[in-house]
A and B are shown apart, each in its own frame.
Chain A
Amino acid sequence: MKIIVLAKHAPDPESEISVASDGKSVSQSGLVYDINDWDRYAVEEAIRIKEERDGEVVVVGVGTSCDDTLRKCLAMGADRAIKIPVDTSFDAYQTAEVIKEALKDEEFDIIMAGLMSQDLNNAQVGVLLAAMLDLPVATAVAEMKVEDGKVIAKRELEGGYLEEVELPTPCVLTIQSGINEPRYVSIMGIKRAKSKEMKEVNVSPTISTLEIEKMYLPPVKKAEMIEGDASEIAEKLIAIFKERGLI
């Protein structure tokens, strides 16, 4: 069983976010990068399947500075990495296109990706890639079981419901967070990762379907802010509870 996992080196939205001076991109100052949270679950799931059924996990990263994330995936237990050192734009087609090109010579059973990226929240690359490769797809997979030649997946729907579906392999799955508990990277894992292959594949995107006009802080209806030290804040909250008849 050979599994390809897409892992994005992505800024954490919990870090300091602002717009760059060009007004069209996110300022890099204050950004903390790590493996995209959803992809972490995808990597873990792939490694678990490999541990159960043997085979290979190949992690793919797009971007000139995605090495740390690829190394982290190798340290978690992926067998080798493919780095596509090109900074694709906001246009997810470009990301899907370069991944498709880089995977040209790889035969695989499953491609897994996180449901979405933590920075752009587009939820597009996995499905676009499936369509480009003409493969069946299931998104927001919250539970999965691999059998010979097929995958039984439970997809997350709204309101706590799941949908159980069956897909033949090869197929593409996008993974919902919470499907497993991703392992910590051990010191041994980091040591082993150093000797694992990280191959660079140079491809450039040719597609361009959209352009960024501007990026800005969203207009928000601001809450009435309560200030003071912890004790004063607690007093004020209690006064609100009383006023509303909640206590």
Chain B
Amino acid sequence: MKVFCIAEYRFDELNPLSIEILNLANQIKGDGTAEAVVIGKDVGKYAEELVKYADRVWKVEDDALENYTPDLYVDVLLQLVEKENPDLILVGNTSQGSEFAPYLAAKLNAPLATDVVAVDTSDGVKVSRYLMQGKLMVDLKLKSTPCVLTIRQGIFKEGSEVGGEIVDAGIKPSRESKRKFISYIEPEVGEVDITQADIIVSVGRGIEDASNIELAEELAELLGGVVAGSRPVIDNGWLPKDRQVGISGKVVKPKLYLALGISGAFQHVMGMKDSELIIAINKDPEAPIFGVAHYGVVADLFDVVPELIDKLKELKG
């Protein structure tokens, strides 16, 4: 199987997920090849990194490709795919990959699966992915090739080096991008840096209301920690954006991560799974957070947290 892996970089750094999708490609290529594609203005250094894990790296370079736009990425990829006929096109399931991959798939009339966590190519192309925010899984069979898959981060970290060649694809954009890149905007800096905290009391949808954040604040203060939150809490404006834990927020690795009323959507889990000790309190025994926590409590946080606060106060005299 000829597997294409579309690399991604930002702020001068290759996204580690680009190596992860090459690892996957090497696992499933059989007698075929794992080939990376890197697109941009000057991408030589990324190609050097990628080629360690690839049979071939295609460089697609042009001044117009300096900043990512979905139109031009799809434009050059269509040209390369037409020339090289890959069976599978793997893309990272990132803000960038999940944007251009469906567009590319539609232009190729190719089957598409997003946020994939397992791929089996022993009999056609089959993939596994989660749905219902992690509560169910589904196995899908894609009916034809080429097909386009976006791959979840953190699944295919293990791989061995291959060492291939770097080839200039000699492909240029055939038109101008309709979408213009203006700028990157850095996250705002808040009063509290949750990435530096040893203890994080993190609240999710289960906290129910802004006024209940106080409860978490009180517990955090007694533990000498800070309060953070999952996406719904930030979306509701109950905590500032710089307290968000997850892919689009901060990645934290505290000594204790106490998850209160957090269901454990993948986007959140990626931001806290490497914490030293994770304790989750949630009413729903099926909440995916219990799959990542070290200790779990199936209970109403409004029963347990006040008890915990009282006992901590007693302890501190």
Contact = CB atoms under 8 A, between A and B. Distances in A.
Prevailing SS type, chain A contact patch:
mixed
Interface string A174-205: 00111001000000000000000000000000
Contact of B137 (A162, A218, A246): A218
A59 B125 CA distance: 36
A14 B263 contact: yes
Prevailing SS type, chain B contact patch:
mixed
**Interface range for B:** 35 or more
A167 B102 CA distance: 18
A140 B94 CA distance: 11
B156 interface: no
Nearest to A246: B256
B179 A158 contact: no
Nearest to A132: B106
A17 interface: yes
B128 to A, nearest CB: 9
B295 A240 contact: yes
A128 B105 contact: yes
Contacts of A225: 290, 295-298
Given A163-B181, A165-B182, A223 B102 contact: no
Interface stretch (A47-55, A69-77, A79-87, A231-239): A231-239
B137 A217 contact: yes
Interface of A: 11, 13-14, 17, 19, 26, 90, 92-93, 96, 118-124, 127-128, 130-132, 136-140, 152, 154-168, 171, 176-178, 181, 208-218, 220-226, 230-231, 233-235, 237-238, 240-241, 244, 246-247
23 contacts: A13-B133, A121-B131, A124-B114, A127-B102, A131-B74, A137-B70, A138-B179, A139-B95, A157-B96, A159-B248, A160-B249, A162-B185, A163-B95, A165-B180, A167-B178, A178-B234, A222-B290, A224-B295, A226-B296, A230-B299, A230-B303, A230-B307, A234-B307
Interface of B: 10, 69-71, 74, 94-96, 98-99, 101-103, 105-107, 110-115, 126, 130-144, 147, 178-187, 198-199, 205, 223-224, 231-232, 234-237, 241-242, 244, 247-251, 255-256, 263, 277-280, 284, 286, 288, 290-299, 303-304, 306-308, 310-312, 315
